[in-house]
Structure 1
């Protein structure tokens, strides 16, 4: 792989050990995938944040990187969700030792120049690249969204490679950074109108079928951004989809030449929604916001629970930025008056909810329905918001 003179100096350690280690990761990736060169990136999004997933070894690795004096790149870089609400973990009874170590992880990332706002929806809080920008993102649902809905270009990075790219400001030029690798592999004609959790079910079905392929969708109705957020998450979690096209919706669909379609019926959607629930029991915790809730989604929750009392325990997970807007709009107070809570920085998948006394989790996210049983060992109920929330 070709390196500029400056990149050679970075690789040789002339800019410090942390940059040298980061260059080692990027060069190794470039060699594996036969990239011709590194390309400058406009933004990064880094996973590997929750103490639940990276543990003490990850904390030690990050603190070692952060101990080196470093002049961070000017890349706009954000973090994936952490394992706790960083500021209010005591209020929500998160384990103390876990929460203290979680904050140390986030502090180490901050010393490396990464924005310590923790969210899986960075495109909702200002990390919004332009069409055709090269970026290095690692949260799977955000990768699918930024590639597909925005039309920026990223591979499905791992946490270490996204961090290395954020530190250096570059990533190897291969995979989805190249035009020839962005064309669809399989096309689907959805013969039913979709609403709310139907998009998650569709993504689950198609992700299972195409794996790491590139699906093309012909839909009966036009999805909004929240629908596309749900579709992205389900495609990325049931398969390994990093890019998809929706006819007349996403920016690169016209580059496709489609002739043969696989049909998705209303029965397919309904059967999948039923399949994603693992029990018939009532949830003792409802978790919304996977991926993190938008302000519009929080407004929907507030309108549903206004002047009522919630029977189940309710968490709405979002970023601290969106929470601040919800506070100002009065949505937070409405939800709290009904007995619910808005949590920042975390979500039900990467939080230690299995150690907090819960058994059945209610979700309106196909990604969460897919991951909670395997990552948390808990049962899930997959239903629409209006069906999940019960009132006294």
Structure 2
């Protein structure tokens, strides 16, 4: 009998048995935009596992990161086949755990998720490429695949840590099915997640924003349709994230009906549950945006970061599927960033503020800060006099949420819960203090600028969705100029913003320049033919899309300011110079 080289006991987050070769990385992975749901390939071209297949492997990563849609991608992998055999994490991850919980609870398929802590996880670097077996709360590592006839038979659902979750009479009535099957299943999943998070109670929420309306494949539609068939109806005002197609234009755009029809249908299913036709990844631009201190449930990573940090509303970084479960019950786990203690900064970043920076500074900084923060809530010092606009903070939020798993950030003297560093830290010493210099930002600039030629065939604006003020600025930059005939310019925004920009005359100006405006969908869901099939490079002012586009769109990226994007649209080229505010790197050997 083959004996394991190492045995590690951990916390079973989701029950199951699985075995396979170890695929190990020390960097968290966003399944949305980072993993192809059709075949399990890692498509995040910035990740050390890029090009690797997860199928049948024991994936060992410290945590997830980035998009709330990771749960939907994991469910798609589980139901269609190319899923990992097991997930081994350094710390609990709610997004990935929820995808596996839905597979178990709704579809009866198990994929084990095991948390072993950072100390034990550090041992796994020596076992990359070896063989691992997960059995409930136990991880065994072998030099080679054992030939012992072991079978990955189902386990009973995982026992979470001792539950202290208090339920009121209404919660118990939902669990008993008194409000119908859909609400009952939603509450069952909510209770499982609340127990996993160690919550002591549930709380009432005032509104929800649903990210699960993004079409990742048939699994996302099967889940929503099942809830609707069970009589699902939202209990709080509910908005919908951008969906995967422009419902009014997808046929004219040449989108394949095999994709367009189910993607559009998914949005209709959620509206049939009572959600509003909003279709925007920037719900903070709607009239229904929450107030400071309001308890809400939002999914969509950039919206979560913005709501918590810029508005001061309170939400966790809710994964797809749990968002609709909470909307169907009106209840959420009383934990994490819903509470004062879960909103305190733990990381202090002392930022070198540039002189006269353009609008590319904020997404670049957000991207870099997210990489440093990982799971910790940061507070940034040194930007007190920078006077960012709401659009700047929107761009920062989106880029930060792309590279970090934290639900929020603070910027001293700017965001509402950080009048100064001391109060952002709640009077405590930071766990870590780091410097962010312009030299550091130049490194991230190089990371986001992946193009190796100056050609620009597409300018992609609106990730997250453009605001009315951004469209006004874009119209100002385009007025009286001529677009290059071989460079497409496409902007995404919500329907409400499009209506505002149309009434103010900005849409007419943009269309005269040759801009195509799309609503309902966003760049993380767009591919060919909106992305020109013969294009090699695109340019964007979005740090989020600059990160995701190489994997999602298969294109190299130029990243820069909005003005630089318009210049590229007119010339068809971007020479890739650093902006003046970012400075020039010193020659080697100088000080």
| TM bucket normalised to smaller | over 0.9
- Displacement of 1:70 in angstroms is 4.3
Q: Secondary structure at the match of 2:523?
A: coil
Partners of 1:25 and 1:337 lie apart in 2 by 50
Given the alignment of the two structures, is residue 34 of structure 1 paired with residue 193 of structure 2, yes or no? no
Given the alignment of the two structures, is residue 309 of structure 1 paired with residue 482 of structure 2, yes or no? yes
Partner of 2:320: 159
Partner of 1:94: 255
CA contact (8 A) 1:130 1:152 kept: yes
CA distance 1:356–1:112, change in 2 (3 Å): farther
Partner of 1:170: 331
CA contact (8 A) 2:212 2:323 kept: no
CA contact (8 A) 2:370 2:403 kept: yes
Given the alignment of the two structures, is residue 252 of structure 1 paired with residue 425 of structure 2, yes or no? no
- Displacement of 1:375 in angstroms is 2.6
Partners of 1:70 and 1:291 lie apart in 2 by 29
Partners of 1:60 and 1:373 lie apart in 2 by 29
Q: Secondary structure at the match of 1:116?
A: coil
4+ residue stretches of structure 1 with deviation over 4 A?
Answer: 258-261
Given the alignment of the two structures, is residue 83 of structure 1 paired with residue 256 of structure 2, yes or no? no
Partner of 2:370: 207
Partner of 1:198: 361
- Displacement of 1:246 in angstroms is 1.1
Among 380, 383, 387, the residue aligned to 2:560: 383
CA distance 1:180–1:146, change in 2 (3 Å): same
Partner of 1:266: 438
Partners of 2:224 and 2:415 lie apart in 1 by 37
Partner of 2:583: none
CA contact (8 A) 2:241 2:281 kept: yes
Deviations 1:141-173, CA, capped at 9 Å, x for gaps: 110100111111111100111111111111111
- Displacement of 1:176 in angstroms is 0.9
Partners of 2:483 and 2:190 lie apart in 1 by 49
- Displacement of 1:71 in angstroms is 4.5
- Displacement of 1:302 in angstroms is 0.7
Partner of 2:401: 236
CA contact (8 A) 2:527 2:552 kept: no
CA distance 1:356–1:195, change in 2 (3 Å): closer
CA contact (8 A) 1:109 1:116 kept: no
Compare the two structures and name the one with the higher helix fraction: 1
The structure, 1 or 2, with the larger RCO (C-alpha pairs under 8 Å, 6+ apart) is: 1
CA contact (8 A) 1:204 1:366 kept: yes
- Displacement of 1:356 in angstroms is 5.5
Among 326, 331, 347, the residue aligned to 2:522: 347
Deviations 1:254-278, CA, capped at 9 Å, x for gaps: 4333767532222322332232111
- Displacement of 1:313 in angstroms is 0.4
Partner of 2:509: 334
CA contact (8 A) 2:550 2:557 kept: yes
Moved more, 154-163 or 255-264: 255-264
CA contact (8 A) 2:358 2:561 kept: no
Partners of 1:62 and 1:302 lie apart in 2 by 39
Among 452, 457, 476, the residue aligned to 1:280: 452
CA contact (8 A) 2:457 2:532 kept: no
Moved more, 229-238 or 368-377: 368-377
CA contact (8 A) 2:278 2:494 kept: yes
Which ranges in structure 1 are unaligned for 5 or more consecutive residues? none
Partner of 1:290: 463
Among 473, 495, 503, the residue aligned to 1:320: 495
CA RMSD, Structure 1 to Structure 2 (Å): 1.7
Partner of 2:21: none
Query: Which structure has the greater CA radius of gyration?
Result: 2
- Displacement of 1:25 in angstroms is 1.2
Q: Secondary structure at the match of 1:127?
A: coil
CA contact (8 A) 2:212 2:324 kept: no
Partners of 1:258 and 1:369 lie apart in 2 by 36
Equivalences for residues 111-150 of structure 1 within 5 A: 111-150=272-311
Partners of 1:361 and 1:168 lie apart in 2 by 43
- Displacement of 1:82 in angstroms is 1.2
Given the alignment of the two structures, is residue 374 of structure 1 paired with residue 551 of structure 2, yes or no? yes
CA contact (8 A) 2:489 2:514 kept: yes
Partners of 1:163 and 1:155 lie apart in 2 by 14
